[in-house]
Structure 1
């Protein structure tokens, strides 16, 4: 929603001070499960738990979820630090690695990443997905050099997943970035919450109106349905910082 001059000016004001850009992965950079359906992955994780005799570990709603992260978080809450959680997390990581091969690039993300790097910004990934999956995808797109080594994703400490700001703090610390000089781009309320907790300005990305409404309901002040306006602003000659 950046079609009018007022929205474009707000966007300019948001990105102009940003010397460090923290990207959520699945959404702003690509649709990770575009060709490897997330709901099938969630069902597979549930079936694996059932084969371990752990059907009762999940609620009925959790067993029906379309989101594999919901399954992983649920087990993580009930069996924190266990071998079970480690095994489930690795199964999800392997599914994400497979998904990376058929992920759909977000429109304008590739040139935006390259342009932001070219004008001097430093970039990081801050994601709830496996950093191995993010690296695999970025390598296939020739974008890994724009981020490496700053890929901060899911670890065995599931309580550190967003909305906890752990991955954001890791990125800021490694980059030597003051929060006010950074910008986080995310597509979920959990991204917004993590950015707020870390004191980092936030730009919402929504690939459709439903996702935009959800972000705005969570309190996001500026949301775009396309990354094209950002690319246009960067290419207009705006200096970084």
Structure 2
């Protein structure tokens, strides 16, 4: 069995619930890193975070972040932490650009999430409108989608990290931007995400949420955040869409 199959046996929204979610969803919003691909599969996120911290240290800013915050393996947390201390600064602008370049490098070895590509194409074929709402750079999302010939499925609807870092998820701003641009009411959408911040943003925006959890740690995090509809593989969701919702 594949790891996705094993995980599906561990946790899966019921087929009936998946049919309900897909039947009511005219717009499907996706997080990027996780549900669509593992961006840092070959360029580990912890190494990227360490590189950003080394860059700060090289600028004489080793003491900028408390010791606890310097232990993070999440490069987005490094960026958030620096922005909280120096909002709208040239330092944050430079750090964000360095992170974007690391993400672009990661695209080369990113691993597609099982069943994501056919699910995206099937949703498009049945008339669903798609958007991506992510804390990654939009440049990175477009680069990856281009390598998979999926860019046309999303069109202009890619809402990612900007210089206004206070609006990263869990803030619902980009979810709301996507809904407004697509003329969709929150109950007619579905957001597929894999983190507590995805769930929190969906809850704030009033959008139904489906959690994708590829391992037990992700399951635990999503459940503790309050998510109730969780799958360990996108395969049953693909089946629900193909069966007509």
Fold shared per TM-score above 0.5: yes
Please report how far the alpha carbon of residue 237 of structure 1 lies from its aligned counterpart in structure 2 after TM superposition.
2.7
TM-score normalised by L of structure 1? 0.96
The correspondence for 1:105, drawn from 91, 112, 122, is 112
The runs of 4+ residues in structure 1 deviating greater than 2 Å are 1-6
Root-mean-square deviation (CA, aligned residues, Å) is 1.4
CA offsets, 1:112-159, max 9 Å, x none?
A: 000000000000000001111011000000000001210000011111
The correspondence for 1:205, drawn from 185, 200, 212, is 212
Q: Per the alignment, do residues 134 and 6 of structure 1 end up closer, same or farther by CA in structure 2, a change over 3 Å counting?
A: closer
The aligned counterpart of 2:18 is: 11
54-63 or 191-200: which moved more? 54-63
TM-score normalised by L of structure 2? 0.94
Q: Per the alignment, do residues 70 and 145 of structure 1 end up closer, same or farther by CA in structure 2, a change over 3 Å counting?
A: same
Does 1 or 2 have the higher relative contact order (CA < 8 Å, sep 6+)? 2
> Which consecutive unaligned segments of at least 5 residues does structure 1 have?
none
The aligned counterpart of 1:115 is: 122
Is the 1:24–1:127 contact (alpha carbons within 8 Å) kept by the matching residues of 2? yes
> Which consecutive unaligned segments of at least 5 residues does structure 2 have?
1-6
The aligned counterpart of 1:181 is: 188
Please report how far the alpha carbon of residue 13 of structure 1 lies from its aligned counterpart in structure 2 after TM superposition.
1.1
Measure the CA separation in 2 of the matches of 1:150 and 1:199. 19
CA offsets, 1:85-133, max 9 Å, x none?
A: 0000000000001101110000000000000000000000000011110
Is the 1:2–1:8 contact (alpha carbons within 8 Å) kept by the matching residues of 2? no
The aligned counterpart of 2:66 is: 59
Is the 2:37–2:112 contact (alpha carbons within 8 Å) kept by the matching residues of 1? yes
Question: Match of 1:203, SS?
Answer: strand
Is the 2:42–2:106 contact (alpha carbons within 8 Å) kept by the matching residues of 1? yes
Q: Per the alignment, do residues 139 and 217 of structure 1 end up closer, same or farther by CA in structure 2, a change over 3 Å counting?
A: same
The aligned counterpart of 2:3 is: none
Please report how far the alpha carbon of residue 6 of structure 1 lies from its aligned counterpart in structure 2 after TM superposition.
7.7
The aligned counterpart of 1:158 is: 165
Please report how far the alpha carbon of residue 167 of structure 1 lies from its aligned counterpart in structure 2 after TM superposition.
1.0
The aligned counterpart of 2:132 is: 125
The number of residues matched between the two structures is: 238
Measure the CA separation in 1 of the matches of 2:192 and 2:207. 10
